[in-house]
Amino acid sequence: MSLRYALLGVLSLGEMSGYDIKRRFDKSLHFVWNASDSQIYRELRSMEEIGLVESAWIPQESKPNKRLYQLTKEGETGLDSWLQSTDGWESIHDKDAFMLRMFFMGRLPRGKGLEVLRQRYEQLERSIRFYETRLREYGDTKRSRRPRLLRWQLRLLEGMHEIDSAQRAWIDGLINDLERDDRKSSPRRRPTAKTEG
Amino acid sequence: MSLRYALLGVLSLGEMSGYDIKRRFDKSLHFVWNASDSQIYRELRSMEEIGLVESAWIPQESKPNKRLYQLTKEGETGLDSWLQSTDGWESIHDKDAFMLRMFFMGRLPRGKGLEVLRQRYEQLERSIRFYETRLREYGDTKRSRRPRLLRWQLRLLEGMHEIDSAQRAWIDGLINDLERDDRKSSPRRRPTAKTEG
DNA sequence: CGAGACATGTAACCTGTTACATGATTCC
DNA sequence: GGAATCATGTAACAGGTTACATGTCTCG
């Protein structure tokens, strides 16, 4: 059901086509929600049927025609009451394919587990770097037509940054401990030397 | 597809009925994965068809009969190669109903946003307390038949604890800033006094 | 001449939720 | 007498993904 509200949210920024919305998702929202284009088109249709949005068919030359959507009054009030509700976040965590792996990772030999952790680490690094460049971009924005919205989005980015940094720190600790164990259990191989190649 | 591997993982701990698996999910796995009973029964059937698990029908007295599942060799190797793969975690964050709200929360007046944040805070508190009691339980476990598995699960709980704590700290900062803004923008109401009731 | 942006959609499929059906035993 | 536990399943629906179809314009 949240896709519906993600669409209402995006349309609250101005009227748009399904295609525009998809681009907006990919550009600014992908870290909190995403959807395939076919799902977006389908959902917009059904939202129009129940009166949350209205559309106008715009013929265009030298480009495909398009359908511009905008919020109705019901759409706006629906969005605002959803914002204040707790629908869809009864449980904070469920379905995390990485954490699920951790639960059973003890099956594998240490080295294999280490490899998986290193991949997660890199992934977190990329994610953190993404938030940092986005925060810089926001910092450069001198003024906006929607300063309140902007401030919340800035804070959101900061939060995501903190959360991923916490996870990275945890993974880092795990990796270090496993590497230490490795050295303890097979000390013959790399006694204290450090040359290589 | 991850439900499949969650089921393989649970069955790697010993043969079980669908009902047992459901209990195990609710008890120990719910913070990384969950599933409804009907989905579990359905998936087990289809896993049996493709040879990942085998089942035996156990007639019982004074209780309903049951079907006990166990891993096949293919199931075990499938589980282990999934553990080393990165299937299903290409993107770290997508679909977070709370964070999606944050993105558009600037639409609401400050007070409304504060309310939502306070609810999130409470939710995080509950979650953190849950991890803490679980960590204490693990700490009490003197020895186990699967010490390696246990160690990873302990670390997983620590990680979840860290991650939620980071999020709580972020929310806490947000709440404080909003409350400060509130006092600034309407200072007549609570000048410097502090009595009440 | 091919790739990519623009633009909307259908069909098939997979995943997940909810409601319903059945029925004995045990515990309060 | 009623609720919880044990135990498996079907049916209908909702939500989400992937593949495919169509067609123009622009840029390199």
Name the residues contacting strand C (CB < 7 Å): A 17-20, 23, 37-38, 41-42, 44-45, 60, 63-67, 95; B 1-3, 34-36, 38-39, 62-64
Q: Which nucleotides of C are covered by protein (CB under 7 A)?
A: 6-11, 14-20, 23-26
The residue of chain B nearest to residue A76, with distances taken between CA atoms, is B107
d(CA A192, CA A113): 24
Cβ-proximal residues to A49 (8 Å cutoff; 6+ apart), any chain: none
Cβ-proximal residues to B17 (8 Å cutoff; 6+ apart), any chain: B66, B67, B68, B69
Which token pair is B151? 């160690």
Contact A160, B93 (CB under 8 A): yes
d(CA A59, CA B174): 46
pLDDT in tens, B1-19: 899 999 999 999 999 999 9
Question: Which residues from B are below 8 Å from A89, CB to CB?
Answer: 97-98, 120, 123
pLDDT in tens, A47-86: 999 999 999 999 998 889 999 999 999 999 999 999 999 9
Radius of gyration, CA atoms only, chain B: 23
pLDDT in tens, A142-152: 788 899 999 99
Residue in B82, B124, B146 closest to A106 by CB: B146
User: A83–B101: do the CB atoms touch at under 8 Å?
Assistant: yes
Task: Output DSSP code: residue B88.
Answer: T
pLDDT for A197 equals 38
Mutate to test the interface with A, among B103, B135, B153, B176 (most CBs of A within 10 A): B103
Percent of chain B with pLDDT over 70: 94
pLDDT for A188 equals 60
Contact B175, B125 (CB under 8 A): no
Question: Which residues from A are below 8 Å from B29, CB to CB?
Answer: 100, 103
DSSP SS3 for B17: strand
The residue type of B90 is E
Query: Which of B:107-136 have CB within 8 Å of A?
Result: 107-108, 112-113, 115-116, 119-120, 123-124, 127
Question: pLDDT-derived band of residue B192, with 50, 70 and 90 as boundaries?
Answer: low
- Tell me, in Å, how far CA of B22 is from C1' of D11? 21
Contact B58, B65 (CB under 8 A): yes
Query: Which of B:152-191 have CB within 8 Å of A?
Result: 152-153, 155-156, 158-160, 162-167, 169-171, 174
Residue in B106, B146, B164 closest to A146 by CB: B106
Nearest residue (Cα to C1') for C15? B1
Question: pLDDT-derived band of residue A105, with 50, 70 and 90 as boundaries?
Answer: very high
Which residue shows structure tokens 């698996």?
B21
Q: Which of residues 43-102 of B touch strand D (CB under 7 A)?
A: 44-45, 60, 63-68, 95
d(CA A187, CA A166): 32
Contact A81, B112 (CB under 8 A): no
Per-position DSSP letters for chain A, written without gaps between them:
-HHHHHHHHHHTTS-EEHHHHHHHIIIIITTT----HHHHHHHHHHHHHTTSEEEEEE--SSS--EEEEEE-HHHHHHHHHHHHS-TT-SSS----HHHHHHHHGGGS-HHHHHHHHHHHHHHHHHHHHHHHHHHHHHHH----S-HHHHHHHHHHHHHHHHHHHHHHHHHHHHHHHHHHHHHHH-TTTSSS-----
Question: pLDDT-derived band of residue A178, with 50, 70 and 90 as boundaries?
Answer: very high
Q: Would the CA dihedral through A112, A115, A120, A123 be positive or negative?
A: negative
